[in-house]
C-alpha cells in the first residue's frame, strides 16, 4: 500500500475515534438526547460558526463524492458520506481520500 494511502487511512481512523470519544463523553454526562447536543453546539456564536463551517464542508464533500462516484462507478466510496454525517468531516474526508486513492483495476 502506498504511504499516502496509509496516511489517509490513519487520519480516517483518528478522525473517527478522537471526536467520537468526546461525543460519547458528552452523551454519558448529559443523556443520549441528540437535540440537547445540537442545542449545546449553538451555545454561543463561536460554536455556531464552527457548526456551520463543518456543515458546509460536509455538504461540499458529499457533492464531490456523489459526482466522482457516479462518474467512476466506485459505489463503495459512498460509505464516506455515511462517515461524514455519522461521525464527522474529520473521518469522512480522509476516508474518501483513502478509498479514491485505490488503484483502478488493470484490464488485461
This prediction's pTM? 0.89
Q: Is residue 22 part of a domain?
A: yes
**Across 99-107, average pLDDT:** 79
Q: Is residue 44 part of a domain?
A: yes
Q: Dump pLDDT digits (tens) for 14-24.
A: 999 999 999 99
C-alpha 103/C-alpha 22 separation (Å) is 35
Q: What is the count of structural domains for the chain?
A: 1
C-alpha 35/C-alpha 39 separation (Å) is 6
Bin 5: left if φ > 0, else alpha if -120 < ψ < 50, else beta: alpha
Q: Is residue 105 part of a domain?
A: no
Range of the domain at 27: 3-100
| Of 73 and 1, more confident | 73
Q: In 3D, which of 102, 69, 94 has the Cα closest to residue 12?
A: 94
Amino acid at each position: 500500500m502506498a504511504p499516502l494511502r496509509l496516511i489517509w487511512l490513519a487520519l480516517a481512523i483518528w478522525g473517527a475515534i478522537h471526536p467520537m470519544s468526546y461525543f460519547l463523553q458528552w452523551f454519558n454526562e448529559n443523556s443520549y438526547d441528540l437535540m440537547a447536543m445540537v442545542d449545546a453546539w449553538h451555545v454561543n456564536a463561536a460554536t455556531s460558526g464552527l457548526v456551520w463551517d463543518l456543515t458546509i464542508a460536509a455538504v461540499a464533500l458529499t457533492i464531490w463524492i456523489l459526482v466522482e462516484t457516479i462518474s467512476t462507478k466506485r459505489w463503495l466510496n459512498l460509505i464516506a458520506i455515511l462517515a461524514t454525517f455519522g461521525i464527522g468531516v474529520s473521518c469522512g474526508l480522509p476516508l474518501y481520500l483513502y478509498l479514491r486513492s485505490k488503484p483502478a483495476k488493470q484490464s488485461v
